[in-house]
Chains A and B, each alone.
Chain A
Amino acid sequence: MKSDPPLALGSFDSASEEWLKSLTGGEREEAVGRLHQLLVCAARREIHRRSTGVRVTGPELDDLAFQAAGDALVSVLAKLQQFRGESRFTTWAYKFVMFEVSTKLARHFWRRSDMPSQPVDWGRLADRFGIQPDEQSEGRDLLEALVRALDETLTDRQRQVFVAIVVNGVPLDALLEEMGGTRGAIYKMLFDARRKLRSALVDGGYLTPEHEGT
């Protein structure tokens, strides 16, 4: 197996340089242990910060934090050569914790929820934006135009993503667990869907055109 080239130390802040030296030198085991502790603390705080939406508490929270920190540690150690000193080492390492926490919580979502079944409950779409279709004809017209635009202007995949995230409230990362692909690809589908729907509603006179630079 081809070994990685040695890290080019010298362009990093002193704390980052210290981390890199210890993680690649004779004190590696002790440094890995310290880093793991740091990542567990960050994961625990992060899950706690996000837990209002996902209801994770007690031992379950600790389990998720340890899993997220462990997987983040594996990624950090595997990608050590990619650290370029553009931030402090610990900031770069915490980024992997954030990714892992997102992934673990997305999986956790499906343990407590099912994908809503068809047909689509369009009343939820009205609720999502506070449109009142029963009380105001303007609101009813807007909702009907939006549902029509969803049908006529979006691809099947864009419609599936829009309905799951916007109508049914499935978190994007949780949908990613179901559909596969990447977060970026699903975001792009939703981005294109938003752009197309807006354009259709502007063309129909339901929304006002955007001005340059707004």
Chain B
Amino acid sequence: MTGSEALERFLHTDPGDVGCDEAMAVLHIFAELVAAGADTKPEYRGVAAHLRACGPCGDDFDGLLAAITNEHP
């Protein structure tokens, strides 16, 4: 990837991105949907867009997903 392509990718913003507050409010619901392989619901597209773009929310999501998929009974 060239510098121009990397910059272009970073500056791209998704108008459907719901932002941190909305994504965090449903993070537990979304994580269970993803863990169950059912994350393609249209109402969560903006959440998925946000988690792709926001480093800290993405980290919280990755951690939550890891916690529920590695959970001991």
Contact = CB atoms under 8 A, between A and B. Distances in A.
Interface of A: 41-42, 45-46, 49-50, 86-88, 90-92, 94-95, 97-99, 101-102, 126, 129-132, 138-139, 142, 146, 166, 171-173, 182-184, 187-188, 191, 194-195, 197-198, 201, 206-208, 210
A128 to B, nearest CB: 8
Contacts of A131: 3-4, 6-7
6 contacts: A94-B68, A95-B24, A98-B61, A129-B6, A195-B13, A197-B11
A86 B12 contact: no
Given A86-B28, A130-B6, A171-B56, A210 B12 contact: yes
Contacts of B4: 131, 138-139, 142, 206-207
B66 A46 contact: yes
The 3 A-B pairs at the shortest CB distance, nearest first, are namely A131-B3, A184-B20, A198-B11
Nearest to B25: A95
Interface in B40-73: 53-57, 59-64, 66-68, 70-72
Contacts of A182: 20-21
Given A87-B28, A95-B27, A45 B66 contact: yes
Given A138-B4, A183-B56, A191-B53, 17 more contacts: A41-B72, A88-B68, A91-B28, A91-B68, A95-B24, A98-B59, A98-B64, A129-B10, A131-B3, A166-B10, A172-B55, A184-B20, A187-B20, A187-B54, A194-B11, A195-B11, A208-B8
Contacts of A41: 72
A98 to B, nearest CB: 4
Interface in B3-43: 3-4, 6-8, 10-13, 17, 19-21, 24, 26-29, 31-32
Contacts of B71: 90
Contacts of B53: 191
Nearest to A126: B3
A137 to B, nearest CB: 13
B60 A99 contact: yes
Contacts of A87: 28-29, 31-32
Contacts of B8: 198, 207-208
A87 B31 CA distance: 9
B28 A95 contact: yes
